[in-house]
Amino acid sequence: MLTERHYSLLERSHDNIMGIRLWGKLTRQDYEGFLPAIEALMQRYDKIRVFVDMTDFRGLTPSAAFEDLKFGLKHWHDVERMALVGEQKWAEHLLKLSKPIIGEARFFAPTRAEEAWQWLKSE
């Protein structure tokens, strides 16, 4: 049975910057689909930067939350900057929780997505 995926890797990704768009409710299979691309980038660069478009994101299944936790514990030191783009207020709270783990993290409204990309590219 084919499962609908709830992510896409963005074509704007380049160098040490990975862009990903999430929508709907993420599953473990979604994580198994996109984490290898992120891990491959981590093998090429000391530190990576991540752009996450969460505009249509609706949460995680329990198994996806477990995959997220495992990945975060293993790679917390590999992410230099993270830009979360979305409208959900809870995404800002999630960002506050992740700040001690991620080097630098910021929340951007969807109308400021271009600014998020520029921030990730800046020194």
Q: Convert the pLDDT of each residue in 78-117 to its tens digit.
A: 999 999 999 866 666 666 656 556 678 888 999 999 999 9
Which of 51, 53, 52, 48 has its CA nearest to residue 15? 48
CB-based contact 107:91 (threshold 8 Å): yes
Q: Give the list of residues 6+ apart from residue 55 with CB closer than 8 angstroms, or none.
A: 21, 23, 85, 86, 87, 110
Write the pLDDT tens digit of every residue in 6-63: 999 999 999 999 999 999 999 999 999 999 999 999 999 999 999 999 999 888 899 9
Nearest to 71 by CA among 43, 32, 24: 32
Domains and CATH numbers, the chain: 7-121 (3.40.50.10600)
* Residues 4 and 33: beta-carbon distance below 8 Å: no
Question: What is the DSSP code (8-state) at residue 102?
Answer: S
